[in-house]
Amino acid sequence: MTTTVPRPPAKVSFRDRLLRLAETVTTPLLPDDYLDLVAPLRAGADLRGRIVAVEPETADAATVVIRPGRGWRGHTPGQYVRLGVDVDGVRQWRAYSVTSPPGRPDRCITITVKAIADGKVSNHLVRRVRTGTIVQLDQAQGDFVLPAATPRRLLFVTAGSGLTPVMGMLRAGAHGDADVVLVHSAPRPQDVIFGPEVRELAARGVIRLVERHTEVDGLLGPDELAGLVPDHLERQTWACGPVGLLDALQERWASHGAADRLHIERFRRSVAAVGEGGTVSFARSAVTVAADGATPILEAGEQAGVLMPSGCRMGICFGCVVPLREGAVRDLRNGELTTAEPGDGVLIQTCVSAAAGPCDIEL
């Protein structure tokens, strides 16, 4: 989550005074509004990036090279970045793992996107976006990273585009000289994103690579994994892939008392429940919408044009939290009911909460 650290109440600096003076010149706009016209990536601007290249990886995946603005504070391998892209004129925010190592000489970062069926943003990025486009960015975040003291034995279990955060770690050499096993599952050999690169690493003996192809081997599951990597439960494991695979791994590690050795990154939330639905009113925006019990309040609000804060869109970053002034919502992940009486202002995560009756949101 992005937190704004309150600045110490230092005396008003010369720069602040100058800024205030500049505001009297530009009101009702801010000096930034004019500077954005000419230098959108300057220091002090809202964090943005410029797409400098889109490089195809497989038939339906591409790497997007982005030059972040001056305010970019760097990332730790394995972390993701939130990207705000205008698709058909509408700003859409999505999270993507950073696949480049920190400190590239050209100051750029890369993300690697797999186009999914009917996916708004992924298809736009893979197939349509033009170089030169400015995108909105957020600082890198996420705790799917290797610890400072790298474990001696590592296991990565990935499937499909789930290889992306792991590729970020491998490229950065974050694993040091640990004994690394990478088990990766993809439909066919040619669908493996970064295929040549990981095969090369394996050939050089940097990692042991186990490639599974679902077209011949079927879906990768924990039992098969146990056969492929017998010491898997002793290894510190980082896993990223579809919901089903991650749920199964979690169950296995937990049932063997090894839950603390498994670290997972989810690209999607698992849905366990639906709410009852209801009318959701956003009082300050003067908008009221009817939302069904399967639609997160975040999406219901966005569709009605409300400016909804958001982050990972799957319940992990708390970037979407707003007060529920009154009403009831159900957590889509576990069915838990949260209610608020007038004046309570209960904080809810709109990306995983659906209406369970009329709701009044403070936005």
Partner 1 sequence: MTVIQKKARNPIAHLSAEDIEMLGKELDAIRDEVIASRGERDAAYIRRVIKTQRTLEISSRAVLLFSLFPPAWLIGTAALSVAKILENMEIGHNVLHGQWDWMRDPKIHSTTWDWDHVSPPEQWKHSHNELHHTYTNVLGKDNDLGYGIMRVDEDQPWHPAHLGQPFYNLVNAAFFEYGIAAYDLELGRNLKEGRHKSPEFRARVRAVGRKIRKQVLKDYVVHPLLSGPSFLSTLAATFTANLVRNVWSHSVIMCGHFPKGVETFEKTSIEGETKGEWYLRQMLGSGNISGSKLMHIMTGNLSFQIEHHIFPDLPSNRYQEIAPKVRDLFDRYGLKYTTGSLPRQVASAWWKVIRLSLPNRREAGPVQDRPIDGGSAGAPLPALAGSAA
Ligand X SMILES: Cc1cc2nc3c(=O)[nH]c(=O)nc-3n(C[C@H](O)[C@H](O)[C@H](O)COP(=O)(O)OP(=O)(O)OC[C@H]3O[C@@H](n4cnc5c(N)ncnc54)[C@H](O)[C@@H]3O)c2cc1C
Which chain residues interact with partner 1 by CB under 8 A?
24-29, 33-34, 37, 86, 88-92, 284-286, 302, 305-307
Nearest residue to ligand X by CB is 119
Residue 63, SS3 per DSSP: strand
CB of 311 to ligand FES, least distance (A): 3
- How many other CB atoms are found less than 10 A from the CB of residue 240? 25
User: Residue 192, exposed/middle/buried by CB under 10 A (0-12, 13-18, 19+)?
Assistant: buried
> What residues have CB less than 8 Å from 334, skipping those under 6 apart?
272, 273
Q: Whose Cβ is closer to ligand FES: residue 185's or residue 349's? A: 349
> Footprint of ligand X on this chain (CB under 6 A)?
80, 94-97, 111-114, 116, 118-122, 142, 161, 164, 265, 267-268, 312, 314
Write the interaction track for ligand FES spanning residues 292-311; mark x where CB under 6 A is met and - where it is not. Answer: ------------------xx
Residue 109 or 320: which CB sits closer to partner 1? Answer: 320
- 68, 319, 327, 357: residue in contact with ligand FES (rule CB under 6 A): 319
- Site for ligand FES (CB under 6 A): how many residues? 12
**Residue whose entry in the numeric block shows the structure tokens 């000096």:** 31
Question: Pick from ligand FES, partner 1, ligand X, none: which does 193 bind, CB < 5 to 8 A by kind?
Answer: none
266 contacts ligand FES (rule: CB under 6 A): no
Q: CB within 8 A of 136, min separation 6: which ones? A: 46, 47, 48, 83, 84, 85, 91, 93
Counting contacts by CB under 6 A, is residue 317 touching ligand FES? yes
Write down the least CB distance from residue 294 to ligand FES, Å. 16
Q: Of 283, 275, 300, nearest to 350 (Cα)?
A: 300
Residue 179: which H helix or E strand, with range? strand 179-186
Residue 43 interface partner, choices ligand FES, ligand X, partner 1, none, CB cut-off 5-8 Å depending on type: none
DSSP labels, 189-221: GGG-TTHHHHHHHHHTTSSEEEEEEHHHH-S--
176 binds, among ligand FES, ligand X, partner 1, none (CB under 5 to 8 A by kind): none
DSSP state of 351: G
Quote the tokens at residue 188: 């066919």
Q: Please check whether residue 100 is in contact with residue 75, taking contact to mean a CB–CB distance below 8 angstroms.
A: no
CB of residue 85 vs ligand FES: minimum separation in angstroms?
A: 16
324 belongs to the binding site for ligand FES (CB under 6 A): no
Site of interaction with ligand FES (CB under 6 A): 310-313, 315-320, 349, 351
